[in-house]
C-alpha cells in the first residue's frame, strides 16, 4: 500500500500517513522510505525524540490551517494581543517546536508556512515574552528569521515599566546569543541616532540637595557621543 507508519515520542504513538506526501515534502523521509534503509523495508519510521503535539501540527493537511486549528480550542477571535500570556506562550512554543521539526527533517513548505504564522503572532503580541525568546534560541537554527524578529521586537518594544512579571523572573535564563544580538542591534541603532543622547555630569555626582547641585562647578557641563 501507499501508507507508512510513523511512531512518535517515547510512548511510540502511531500515525498512518500517505508515503507520497511524506516523500514529496521532506528530503529526509524521501531518503528514509525510498532508499536501502530499514525504514523503507518495514514502511515504518520511529521518531522517539519528537513530541506527538509537534507531529500533530505537521499532520495538518493544509499548512494555511495551522493557525486556525491551534487557536480553535481557545475560542480565539481577533488579535493575539487578546490572548492570556500563558495561552499565547503555549501556542508559540508549539509552533517553534514544529518549525524546528521542519528544519531538522527538511520540510521546506512546512517551514515557510510556520515562519509566516510565527511572524504574524509575534508582531501581534509585542514585545515577545522572555519565555518565547528563551525557547526560540534553544530550538531554532542560528539563521532563522524568527530569531532576528525576536531581537528587533525586543529592542524596539520592551520597557521595564510595562514588562510582564514573568520577564523579570526569567531574566537570568536569557541566552547569551540573544544578549549578544541585542547589544549588536542596539549599537546599530545608536549609530543611526548619532548625537541624540547628552550626558550631564551632575546626574552621576549623587548631590544631596538641589542647592549642592547648583553650586557644583560641573553643573553646566554635558557630554555627548562622538
Identify which has the larger pLDDT, 205 or 222.
205
pLDDT at 134 over 90: yes
User: What is the rounded end-to-end Cα distance, in angstroms, of the chain?
Assistant: 72
- Segment 78-87 shows an average pLDDT of 70
Q: Is the pLDDT of residue 167 over 60?
A: yes
pLDDT score for 77 = 53
Residue 163 has pLDDT above 90, yes or no: no
Give pLDDT tens digits for 168-177: 889 999 999 9
- Which of 22-36, 106-120, 199-213 shows the lowest per-residue confidence on average (mean pLDDT)? 22-36
Residue 130 burial class via C-beta count within 10 angstroms: exposed 0-12, middle 13-18, buried 19 and up: buried
Per-residue pLDDT of 12-57, as tens digits, reads 999 888 888 788 878 888 887 776 655 556 677 889 999 999 998 8
Look at residue 63 and tell me whether its pLDDT is greater than 50: yes
How would DSSP label each residue in 127-162? SPPHHHHHHHHHHS-TT-HHHHHHHHHHHHH--TTT
- Assess whether pLDDT exceeds 70 at residue 79: no
Distance separating alpha carbons of residues 164 and 128, to the nearest angstrom? 10
Comparison of pLDDT for 113 and 2, the residue scoring more: 113
Which strands, in side-by-side order, build the sheet including 44-47? 13-18, 3-8, 44-47
Q: What is the pLDDT of residue 25?
A: 79
Mean pLDDT of the chain: 83
- In this structure, the dihedral spanned by the alpha carbons of residues 98, 101, 105 and 109, taken in order and rounded to 10 degrees, is 20
Confidence (pLDDT) at 36: 61
Strand ranges (E), the chain = 3-8, 13-18, 44-47, 199-200, 222-223
Using CA atoms, how far apart are residues 127 and 125, in angstroms rounded to an integer?
6
The whole model's pTM is what?
0.80
| 143 pLDDT higher than 70 | yes
Which pLDDT belongs to residue 189?
A: 73
Q: What pLDDT does 29 receive?
A: 82
Amino acid at each position: 500500500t501507499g501508507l507508512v507508519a510513523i511512531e512518535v515520542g517515547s510512548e511510540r504513538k502511531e500515525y498512518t500517513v500517505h508515503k507520497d506526501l511524506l516523500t514529496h515534502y521532506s528530503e529526509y523521509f524521501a531518503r528514509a522510505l525510498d532508499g536501502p534503509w530499514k525504514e523503507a523495508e518495514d514502511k515504518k519510521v520511529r521518531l522517539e525524540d519528537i513530541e506527538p503535539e509537534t507531529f500533530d501540527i505537521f499532520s495538518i493537511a493544509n499548512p494555511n490551517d495551522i493557525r486556525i486549528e491551534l487557536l480553535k480550542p481557545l475560542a480565539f477571535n481577533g488579535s493575539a494581543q487578546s490572548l492570556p500570556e500563558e495561552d499565547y506562550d503555549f501556542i508559540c512554543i508549539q509552533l517553534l517546536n514544529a518549525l524546528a521539526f521542519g528544519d531538522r527533517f527538511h520540510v521546506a513548505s512546512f517551514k515557510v508556512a510556520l515562519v509566516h504564522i510565527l511572524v504574524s503572532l509575534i508582531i501581534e503580541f509585542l514585545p515577545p515574552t522572555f519565555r518565547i525568546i528563551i525557547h526560540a534560541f534553544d530550538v531554532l537554527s542560528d539563521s532563522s528569521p524568527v530569531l532576528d524578529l525576536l531581537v528587533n521586537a525586543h529592542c524596539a518594544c520592551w520597557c521595564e515599566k510595562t514588562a510582564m512579571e514573568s520577564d523579570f523572573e526569567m531574566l537570568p535564563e536569557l541566552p547569551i546569543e540573544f544578549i549578544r544580538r541585542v547589544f549588536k542591534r542596539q549599537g546599530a541603532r545608536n549609530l543611526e541616532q548619532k548625537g541624540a543622547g547628552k550626558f550631564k555630569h551632575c546626574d552621576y555626582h549623587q548631590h544631596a540637595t538641589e542647592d549642592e547641585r547648583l553650586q557644583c562647578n560641573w553643573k553646566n557641563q554635558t557630554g555627548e557621543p562622538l
